[in-house]
């Protein structure tokens, strides 16, 4: 694919900073900021509306919109789709390759932000921050006993960039870290002291279980009724990865019957399946659930980093080059 003569780049995400926009302009791009309405993400935009917005674009910096074969077929001039994030389960990568497009992710841009968020949820749910504040607001200032993260056993499911960032942070808590991953790295274990285990053993031994795996057909509802029943009584579940990794209905039952001590959730099944919204609402109502709206990567610093990675990927592709290692997930050129 030769360098593109079109340099129009459409951004369908909020919080796209001026420095990243200026980078695009400095490299000859026309920048069109088209954030979704308040309270919505670009995943809520109608496909026909997306097609209209992207009609003459060569680059698209996208959040959670579905990138489908019909949409790509309707946009022959769209050469590069840059995810401002690292998941790409909503992108038809096979179609992108077939149609000669490039799809990139913002590899490394949000690792620190999501890892910080993960540790924050562990502490918040373990120390019962939400329930304590609710009691105080109601006039009850009695102390609720919580659970330390210090010296606990933490099980990580998945060990990508974010998982490894969590491991570094847990070292400051003197935690014992168990890891379940399809790709164990003996040198990394020797360096950090993590212990690789099977999933069943990890669930049985861990005081905190934190998910850092991609969502695939094989990992969908990886944490189901059986998995939750096998967890240590009083354990905490943390999910800052993808909603579909956990069967939220099973999680709700495990919290309601007292088997689990609590949950820290940044993602929900209902983000992609509206039928689960009543389950999400029921989870949000529980005093031992601390939740955020898929905001783990959304710090000022994290979004600035991912914005710039996406912008650099777009410019590189439009110039006919190859984006940074780890960023390309589909290249049909």
Any idea which residues carry the catalytic annotation? 242, 271, 294
C-alpha to C-alpha distance for 138 and 191, rounded to whole angstroms: 48
C-alpha to C-alpha distance for 242 and 213, rounded to whole angstroms: 8
Strand order of the sheet with strand 30-33? Answer: 30-33, 8-11, 59-62, 80-83, 102-104, 328-331
Measuring CA to CA, how many Å separate 79 from each of 9, 111, 266?
10, 27, 32
- Secondary structure of residue 159 in the 3-state scheme: coil
C-alpha to C-alpha distance for 101 and 305, rounded to whole angstroms: 24
List the structure tokens of 125.
């749910």
DSSP assignment of 224-292, as one string?
Answer: -HHHHHHSPTT-EEEE-S-GGGB-HHHHHHHHHTTSS-EEEES--GGGT-GGGHHHHHHHHTSTTEEE-
- Going by their DSSP bridges, the two strands 208-211 and 153-157 should be labelled as parallel
How far does Cα 329 stand from its chain's mean position?
16
- Secondary structure of residue 300 in the 3-state scheme: helix
């Amino acid at each position: 694919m030769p360098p593109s003569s079109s340099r129009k780049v459409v951004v369908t995400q909020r919080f796209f900073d001026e420095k990243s926009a200026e980078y695009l302009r400095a490299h000859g791009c026309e920048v069109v900021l088209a954030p979704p309405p308040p309270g919505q993400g670009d995943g809520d935009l109608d496909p026909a509306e997306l097609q209209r917005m992207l009609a003459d674009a060569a680059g698209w910096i996208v959040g959670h919109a579905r990138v489908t074969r019909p949409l790509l077929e309707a946009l022959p001039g769209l050469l590069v789709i840059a995810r401002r994030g690292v998941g790409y389960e909503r992108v038809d990568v096979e179609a992108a390759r077939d149609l000669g497009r490039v799809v990139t992710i913002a590899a490394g841009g949000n690792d620190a932000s999501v890892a910080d968020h993960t540790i924050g949820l562990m502490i918040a749910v373990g120390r019962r921050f939400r329930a304590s504040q609710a009691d105080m607001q109601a006039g009850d200032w009695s102390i609720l006993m919580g659970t330390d993260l210090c010296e606990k056993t933490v099980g990580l499911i998945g060990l990508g960039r974010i998982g490894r960032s969590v491991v570094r942070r847990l070292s400051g808590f003197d935690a014992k870290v168990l890891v379940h991953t399809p790709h164990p790295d003996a040198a990394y274990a020797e360096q950090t002291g993590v212990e690789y285990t099977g999933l069943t053993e990890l669930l049985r031994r861990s005081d905190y279980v934190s998910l850092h795996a991609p969502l695939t057909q094989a990992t969908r509802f990886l944490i189901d009724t059986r998995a939750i029943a096998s967890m240590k009584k009083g354990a905490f579940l943390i999910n800052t990865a993808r909603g579909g990794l956990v069967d939220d209905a099973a999680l709700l039952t495990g919290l309601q019957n007292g088997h689990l001590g609590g949950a820290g959730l940044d993602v929900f099944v209902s983000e992609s399946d509206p039928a689960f919204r009543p389950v999400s609402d029921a989870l949000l109502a529980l005093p031992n659930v601390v939740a955020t709206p898929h905001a783990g990567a959304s710090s000022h610093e994290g979004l600035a980093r991912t914005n710039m990675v996406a912008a650099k990927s777009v410019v590189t592709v439009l110039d006919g080059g190859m984006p940074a290692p780890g960023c390309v997930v589909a290249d049909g050129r």
